[in-house]
């Protein structure tokens, strides 16, 4: 009640500094005059941003990533929303196993998800491509959709559905006019989160990518070849994009107390 600055405040300040230090360095050095990251930074230039905008292969990988992300959102929602509903209201043998399986990719290292799908595709003789990447993302990120929609269903008052049925509506009608609208916010929040996670996804994509690269993999291959400050520029842009997205997501999902 009396705000006193204690070690808790100091600790928090240090942790925030730690979390944001690399990001700040990136932003500062994306404008760095020299092409090495020595301290202190020299000069100020937009050169790297200019090079970035002229970099066609990079932009085509951005396009690929956007495509894959859109597809991943569609897949994750298409199967994740029914999955959440099933867990909330259906009864079937193996339900607990199903729940664990669906949520497993959330915590499972991406390499396992990626490799397991790779072995499946290889056995089936399927060609690796953006489609296989999208399937990989979708599978991994269904868990996010299920988590968000399940949380929304928990808050949902079943009496509303009962009232709808009582008034004569069919199950489908009730779903469309009562259940789904109440899930609007969780679904949008999930979509946003899945989209962003898909754009950044690298571990699963690593094993499922074909000839066309996604943005993270494109950046990755360049990093293997050596550092260019252009990477700082694209990273800063990604950061800016992320900040905007998260502010929007936060507004949608309500305050931190709903988290």
Partner 1 sequence: MYSRSYQRLVSIPPLLWVTAFLLLPYASLFLISFWQVHSQQIVHQWTLHNYGQLVGNPVYLEVLGRSARIAASVTILALLLGVPLAYFVSMRAGRFKNLLYQLVIIPLWVSYLVRAYAWKTILGGNGVLNTLLIHVGILHQPAAFLLYSPFAVILTLTHIYTPFVFLPAYASMAHIPKALIEASGDLGASPFRSFWKVIFPLSLPGIIAGATFAFVLSLGDFIAPLLIGGPNGIMISNIVVSLFGAAYDWPLGSAISLCILILVVVLISTTESVERRLRLGGAR
Long-range Cβ pairs for the range 78-82 (8 Å, 24+): 79/138, 79/142, 79/145, 80/141, 80/142, 80/143, 80/144, 80/145, 80/146, 80/149, 80/190, 81/145, 81/149, 81/183, 81/187
Burial class of 123 by CB neighbour count within 10 A (0 to 12, 13 to 18, 19+): exposed
d(CA 70, CA 73): 5
The answer to whether the CB of 220 falls within 8 A of the CB of 39 is no
DSSP 8-state symbol, 258: G
Site for partner 1 in 235-254 (CB under 8 A): 235, 238-239, 242-243, 245-247, 250
20 binds partner 1 (CB under 8 A): yes
| Smallest distance, partner 1 to C-beta of residue 230, A | 12
Query: Could you give the string, one character per residue 27-66, with x where binding to partner 1 holds by CB under 8 A and - elsewhere?
Result: --x------xxxxx--------------------------
Site for partner 1 in 88-147 (CB under 8 A): 89-92, 98, 101-102, 104-105, 107-113, 115-120, 123, 135, 138-139, 142
Interface pick for partner 1 out of 66, 185, 188, 203 (rule CB under 8 A): 203
22 binds partner 1 (CB under 8 A): yes
| Span interacting with partner 1, options 45-53, 55-63, 182-190, 219-227, rule CB under 8 A | 219-227
83 binds partner 1 (CB under 8 A): yes
Of 15 and 46, nearer to partner 1 (C-beta) is 15
């Amino acid at each position: 009640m009396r705000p006193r600055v204690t070690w808790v405040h100091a600790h928090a300040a240090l942790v925030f500094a730690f979390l944001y230090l690399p990001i700040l360095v990136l932003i500062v050095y994306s404008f760095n005059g020299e092409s090495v990251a020595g301290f202190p930074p020299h000069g100020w230039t937009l050169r790297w941003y200019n090079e970035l905008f002229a970099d066609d292969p990079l932009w085509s990988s951005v396009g690929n990533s956007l495509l894959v992300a859109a597809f991943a959102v569609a897949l994750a929602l298409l199967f994740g929303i029914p999955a959440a509903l099933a867990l909330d209201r259906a009864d079937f043998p193996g339900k607990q196993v199903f729940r664990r399986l669906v949520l497993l990719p959330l915590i499972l290292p991406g390499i396992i998800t990626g490799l397991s799908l790779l072995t499946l595709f290889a056995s089936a003789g399927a060609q690796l491509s953006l489609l296989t990447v999208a399937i990989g993302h979708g599978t991994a990120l269904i868990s996010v959709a299920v988590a968000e929609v399940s949380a929304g269903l928990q808050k949902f008052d079943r009496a509303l559905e009962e009232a709808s049925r009582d008034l004569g509506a069919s199950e489908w009608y009730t779903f469309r006019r009562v259940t789904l609208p109440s899930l609007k916010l969780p679904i949008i929040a999930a979509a946003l989160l899945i989209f962003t996670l898909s754009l950044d996804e690298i571990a699963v994509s690593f094993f499922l990518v074909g000839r066309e690269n996604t943005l993270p993999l494109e950046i990755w291959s360049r990093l293997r070849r050596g550092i260019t400050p252009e990477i700082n520029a694209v990273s800063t842009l990604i950061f800016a994009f992320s900040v905007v997205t998260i502010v929007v997501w936060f507004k949608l999902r309500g305050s931190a107390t709903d988290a």
